[in-house]
Amino acid sequence: MPLPIPPVSLPPTPPKFTRPPSPSDPPTATDIVEAEKHKRHMFLQIENGHPGATAMVYADAENSLTQLTFGHDLNNYPIPPAAVPGAPCIPVVPGIAGVLEGHQVLMDRMSQLLAQFGALDARTAIMVNKGRAYSSGVPFEEVCFLDGSLPSQTSGDRQALPPLRSIDSIHNLVSTDLNRFLQGYGIEFQRRLSLDKRRLLLAEHIGCLHYKNVSR
């Protein structure tokens, strides 16, 4: 349904210039074309130094073109249902829906790749730790949790845990920190399991194969 719009006033026409035809009500595409021609004609006359063509005349022509275009669009494009009070929101158009769906697929794939990289980093650190002798004095490689975060760094609501650099650092873990390590690695255990056995589970998981051979 066409919308009522105020009549569009034509720009003042300098002497010896052809005045654009009066626009229809509502404006048509032909009116817009004629207004565009008039604006360009004014621009060329200013470029040629015509005394009657001033910047104000050109600005009026530009304003007239804008009003005609706006009036034409208002009368030829329906108001979205969401703009009508009480009407349901319009659904996302199929084209945009496809773009959003593709973006979500890409983000899901990125999350999968990050998880795969994290798992690869964890396996690599475990293999390195397994190959190190107890007497070498070289610190253990840090093995990331299942969510890809490093235990020694704060992640979300989880506080940073003590870095596991040696057998001593595993042995010195308190019960609460030890449980957080096991949970972060997805290691199932019973709460009544002794500290020594839980420490052994953790040591074997990160590749510290010498833990059980070291007497305490």
Q: What is the pTM of this model?
A: 0.48
Residue located via tokens 């890809």:
148
Residue-wise pLDDT tens digits, 124-179:
888 888 877 665 677 888 999 988 888 998 888 889 999 998 888 998 999 999 99
Residue-wise pLDDT tens digits, 39-50:
777 777 777 777
Mean pLDDT of 88-95: 54
Per the model's pLDDT, the better-predicted residue between 147 and 6 turns out to be 147
Quick one: pLDDT band at residue 69, thresholds 50, 70, 90?
confident
Contacts of 24 (CB under 8 A, 6+ apart): 30, 31
Q: In angstroms, what CA-CA distances link 23 with 11, 12, 18, 50?
A: 12, 14, 15, 26
